Structure 1
Amino acid sequence: MGDLRHAIFAGGFSAIASSRADRWLRPFAQGCGLILTFHHVRPDAPGGGAHAVAQGQFRPNRSLEVTPAFLEATLEALAHAGFECVSMDEVPERLDASRRGRPFAVITFDDGYRDNVEHAWPILRRRNVPWTLYVVPRFADGRGVLWWIDLERAIAGADSVVFRVGEDVLSLQTATPAQKAAAFAGVARRLRAAGGKELRGFVMSLAEREGRDPAATSRELCADWEDIAALARDPLVTIGAHSMSHPVLSRETAETVLEELGESRRVIAGRLRRPVRHLAYPHGDREAVGVREHVLARAAGFTTAVTTRPGHLWPAHRAHCHALPRLSMNGRHQTDAALRALLSGVPFLAGDLAQRLHAATVAGG
């Protein structure tokens, strides 16, 4: 199902590009700005990249990584389309309906991976582009768990697996790429629906079975506080929060959510000795984040909070700065057609129009 969905997306991007809909619909579809989401930025491993995806190899987290060349291509496409890259600090003012001018773009990175420091930072610094890194303090401490990575690795190296999720024991065949993909999708879906206790239990049992520290992956892949402090000294870089431990917020109590958000803000500010104004919700889709989380993000003291719901920004978002949409730069769609479509706003035209009509109705009483 996942491969089919991505094939449909790719076909849609190609159709928009070939029909030039990204040009003739742009005046209706493009908002006043947009926020782009990246995770990993790193060169493809040998045998990886688009060829690996096309051959059906097991890479369930492929969507979370792009190459440095694609980051460069994205920045080129933004410049060609007339976007001005700005910091998250400027977003509320830029959303003011009284302003007129060039559309703006914000470059953001989630989780705080070390490859952002090694590969993304030099590109952005050379191009003088502001950007935001949303940090998970437990990852920076080397005490967090990246269960989606651990799950992929456990399935990749086995012909069959047995996982415990809560009270359930899942015995799955994983000999072929298709079986591996199905197993990953099923277990990931269960883990996203689980509470924090069940998720921690899964991670601990997996690590115990493999004889390793459950936090080893965060130390391997994530930037530490020394790296983050170096970034924070760059005036082009804004450090934001991404919760303390990266839970699925909708599965937690309001008290836990407020603690996750507020404590992450306090810890990062204390480490870097500067205010932290911006939040990216972990797992920021509609199932993981709703009105309750928007209210709690405001209560925790954040000026803005971004989701993973796709769409462009419109002046009406000025009243909803704790529920801002973003465009995911998906590693499965590192193409010119995808970039042109996403930046034009055409794939989101119907949804954005509905949101604007709703906002106008509310404003008009």
Structure 2
Amino acid sequence: MDGRHRAIAAAFQVMAATGADRWSRGFAQGRGAILTLHHVRSAAPRGFNPNALLEVTPDFLDRALRLIRDEGYDIITLDEALARLQNPEPGRFFVALTFDDGYRDTVEEAWPVLARHGVPWTLFVTPGFADRTARLWWLELEEAIRALPRLDLTLPDGRFTAPTGTDAEKGRAFAGLYRRLRRGPEAILLSAISELATAAGIDPVALVERECLPWETLRALSGAPGITIGAHTLTHPMLGKHDAQTARREIADSKARLEAQLSLPIRHFAYPVGDSGSAGPRDFALAAEAGFDSAVTTRPGHLFPEHAAHLHALPRVSLNGLHQNEAALRALLSGLPFWLRNRGRRLDVE
């Protein structure tokens, strides 16, 4: 855990110790929250695990659902969340569960927990992962650094070198290269990671096959009660780094492709990566143009009545694998961390 996340963890503990996660609800808590999850899988000891923030354990998911219910909150579908958001009458705080990308462990390890609690959930699917044609580049980067003893890359803005002999060195190399590649065009990011994967003998298609659900499983899921399938673009690009034509195709064609493959309407969309650098007002407009009822970002925050006018720029609350404890969850559900981060602003849609 880096310094930033240690500070976040300390803040959660202070909120719990002072009771701020309870007394702040009157001004910080919204009408509801959409939770973001990626991987749900049993913990495996790994010294180098740079994508740990994207995975929680089935036990933590179970404890989270129990806590949400014990607080008297409702766990509802995305459709019901939109209906409540647009209803001027206040009601009980609600939570909607969403899972991004379409990983195998969502079915193998998350679904049994969700079924045991009888809660609905939404799976945002990238057709390219089901086709085995899109790339899990963040996982390719992790696997390549795990395998290589040293990095030496020539990038357009200069050379990047780093030792990767120890877990600590691998962690620093991943963080440094990730930050540098994220600042530039996505084509450079993909090319650089492809070069590393090739040098390390990593097969990108095999990684997607190992991690992501195939079409036959998605078709079975699409008919199951309590499960909503949403779209997550065709190939998982950071839309904000691409021109409007590319973004429009990625958004609209993902809807059409899923509807053709699964024979059901696709009403909800999630922006890949989803931060302000990956999705903005242009992309919000394109999601509305494509006919989605809603679209979710990863901009952190609760849902407030004002979001009823911005259904294609909805915030979410990430269940972060680095903070799998009750203090963190209570703080997130209180809304106080977002009230502080956003300085009391309810909307972040620009």
Opposite residue 307 of structure 1, the aligned amino acid is: T
Is structure 2 residue 225 aligned with structure 1 residue 225? no
In the other structure, the counterpart of 2:134 is: 144
Change (3 A) 1:358 1:199: closer
Question: Which of the numbers 262, 266, 279 marks the counterpart of 1:276?
Answer: 266
Letter matched to residue 19 of structure 1: T
Shift of 1:194: 3.3
Q: Give the alignment partner of residue 339 of structure 2, picking from 338, 349, 361.
A: 349
Q: State the AA in 1 paired with 2:14.
A: A
Q: Deviations over 1:23-55 (max 9, x none)?
A: 11112211100000000001011x35xxxxxxx
Query: Which amino acid is 1:17 matched to?
Result: A
Match of 1:251 in 2: 241
Letter in 2 for 1:25: S
Q: Which residue does 2:290 correspond to in 1?
A: 300
The aligned residue for residue 13 of structure 1 is 12
Displacement of 1:351:
4.8
8 A Cα contact 2:144 2:197, kept in partner: no
Indicate yes or no: 2:286 matched with 1:287. no
Q: Following TM superposition, by how much is the alpha carbon of 1:169 offset from its aligned partner in structure 2, in angstroms?
A: 4.2
Equivalent in the alignment of 2:82? 92
Partner of 2:149: 159
Following the alignment from structure 1 to structure 2, what is the Cα–Cα distance between the partners of residues 163 and 229? 41
AA of the residue aligned to 1:3? D
**In 2: Cα distance, 1:44 partner to 1:197 partner:** 33
Corresponding residue SS for 1:309? strand
Listed one character per residue, the Cα deviations across residues 326-354 of structure 1 (whole Å, up to 9, x for unaligned) are 11000010011101111111111245664
Which residue is 1:41 aligned to? Answer: 40
Distance 1:168 1:214 in 2: 26
Give the AA of the match of 1:32.
Answer: R
Q: What corresponds to 2:92 in structure 1?
A: 102
Equivalent pair of 1:165/1:199 in contact (CA under 8 Å): no
Q: Is the 8 A contact 1:309 1:326 kept in 2?
A: yes
**TM-fit CA distance, 1:64:** 0.3
Moved more, 286-295 or 310-319: 286-295
Specify every segment of 5 or more residues in structure 2 that has no aligned partner in the other structure, as ranges. Answer: none
Return the letter of the residue paired with 1:233.
G
* 1:166-245 equivalence runs, <5 A: 168-245=158-235
Which amino acid in the other structure matches residue 301 of structure 1? G
Q: For the Cα contact (< 8 Å) 1:125–1:236, is it kept in 2?
A: no
Residue segments in structure 1 that go unaligned for 5+ positions in a row: 49-56, 360-365
Question: Secondary structure in 1 aligned to 2:265?
Answer: coil
User: Cα RMSD over matched residues?
Assistant: 1.9
Partner amino acid, structure 2, of 1:16: M
8 Å contact from structure 2 (residues 126, 232) kept in 1:
yes
Name the CA shift for 1:267/1:346 in 2 (closer, same or farther; >3 Å): same
* Higher deviation after alignment, 200-209 or 34-43: 200-209
SS at match of 2:96: strand
**Distance in 1 between the 2:83 and 2:184 partners?**
38
Deviations 1:165-197 (A, max 9, x none): 457542221223332222111221233233343
Distance (whole Å) between structure 1 residues aligned to residue 99 and residue 2 of structure 2? 25
Identity of aligned residues (%): 47
- Determine the C-alpha separation between the residues in 1 that align with 2:91 and 2:214: 39
For 1:54, the equivalent position in structure 2 comes to none
**Aligned counterpart in structure 2 of residue 317 of structure 1, from 289, 302, 307:** 307
Instruction: Quickly say closer, same or farther: Cα 1:201–1:111, change in 2 above 3 A.
Output: same
Distance 1:256 1:287 in 2: 16
Q: Distance in 2 between matches of 1:217 and 1:232?
A: 24
- What TM-score, normalized by structure 2, do the two folds share? 0.94
Note if contact 1:107-1:132 (Cα within 8 Å) is conserved in structure 2. yes
Q: 1:198 to 1:352 in 2, by over 3 A?
A: closer
Task: Give the CA deviation at 1:232.
Answer: 1.0
Partners of 1:132 and 1:165 in 2: CA distance: 39
- Once residues 167 and 344 of structure 1 are traced to their aligned partners in structure 2, the CA distance between those partners, rounded to angstroms, is 43
| Structure-2 separation of matches of 1:303 and 1:92 | 9
Match of 1:59 in 2: 49
Compute the TM-score of the two structures, normalised by the length of structure 1.
0.91
Q: Is the 8 A contact 1:312 1:352 kept in 2?
A: no
1:22 maps onto 2:36 in alignment: no
Task: Report the counterpart of residue 108 of structure 2 in structure 1.
Answer: 118
Provide closer, same or farther for how the CA distance between residues 357 and 112 of structure 1 changes in structure 2, counting only shifts above 3 A: closer
Shift in Å, 1:105: 0.6
2: CA distance, partners of 1:198 / 1:96: 42
Partner of 1:335: 325
